[in-house]
Amino acid sequence: MALGLVVMKVRRLKAFIIFGSLTYTVAFGLLIRYRGGHNTSQVSGVIGAEVLLGLGAGFFTYPAIASVQARTKHKSESVYLSPCAKTDK
């Protein structure tokens, strides 16, 4: 919700999408670096990487979906947004 208010004020989505994708990539690098273990630094590294992963996902997916919705016609919107949909089987 806070990101939506900031985007509404700034009116630019590209910077948020780039920041989110870079944060997402860095988080996966940290997850590879801190693979988990029993000492405190490994556990802290995994927790920090998971927090960055969630932050990057939020900064990337929702502005990307909003930009697709703003750019496409309503008739073909479902075709463009279908890759973003999550399917659980």
* pLDDT score recorded for residue 52: 94
The answer to whether residue 30 sits within a structural domain is yes
* pLDDT score recorded for residue 7: 76
* pLDDT score recorded for residue 75: 80
Residue 59 half-sphere exposure toward CB, CA atoms < 13 A: 20
Residue 24's alpha-carbon distances to 14, 56, 84, in angstroms, are 15, 5, 16
Number of compact structural domains in the chain: 1
* pLDDT score recorded for residue 89: 41
* pLDDT score recorded for residue 85: 65
* pLDDT score recorded for residue 84: 67
Domain containing 36 equals: 11-83
The answer to whether residue 6 sits within a structural domain is no
pLDDT averaged per 10 residues, the chain (length 89): 76 87 94 85 90 90 80 78 59
